[in-house]
Structure 1
């Protein structure tokens, strides 16, 4: 079994541990299990995607199947950090797939959501699991024009849960993991 990663090349995640060539590398099965067990995201939501590692523990997701060994700078979007004690989803992943989550989603009030996207840590009550959570807020669909799957504008007038990003909940405190360059104040 190989022991290293190539930091400048994307390498497809093995389907399972039996196919693993690099010790410590996450597998496709483990990634799907993590999202299903931690956040309740059904496996079929992520099934159409391919998963890649570039460097040690930086997992990328792509919507198409790309040949192995292709020299590219970027592939899809960053999705998950592994090779640490607790796996951490990226903000992009939470925003893209968090609407499918049924577990470990903390629903924030407007004020708490504004503080969260500004990068502020907050004392909040939460009776769920500690660790990485998806922070979400109900957004009125009528507040902004939305486009459905047909591409037509709609104004349903009802609220929809919008994932904001990843938070770390420990000891009664929600720590915003919104990257500094993406923080916003309202």
Structure 2
């Protein structure tokens, strides 16, 4: 009876391990990056979702954004080319460069908070600093920012490690069963 229970447990462990291995290999997965930026009177944090490669080499299109700015929740990422809209402004391109020191372009990314305000963090190479525009016509007075980002580990990677652990436990259990069977 004990042998049957051990064999059943080993089979279940193998099935769980196989399932986890399959789950750890998605066909395509979005890349996630935690971000934060701050300046005088400004503090924003959240997560960016990157989709397909962007129009510039090394860039990816930001397809989603969550988080908050000064404690107000971000409600949506604004469509490419939609903000700012003034005559002397460059509308957002929502491009992100994960493997470069400078993560945003001069066009930047644009989002809206739940209170209806719109914001456009961008990189201004003329002053070697990030800035944030929060009016339809950005200006040289836009506040300077510090901007940082880090990749979010893929859940699939964690599942893969768990699967290998389960597989190892299964193999160890099988060896123990074989040893017990040989002694009997």
TM-score relative to the length of structure 1: 0.27
Q: Which has the higher helix share?
A: 2
- Give TM-score, length-normalised by structure 2: 0.27
* Greater strand share, structure number: 2
User: Based on CA coordinates, which of the two structures has the bigger radius of gyration?
Assistant: 2
Q: Which has the higher contact order (CA 8 A, sep 6+)?
A: 2
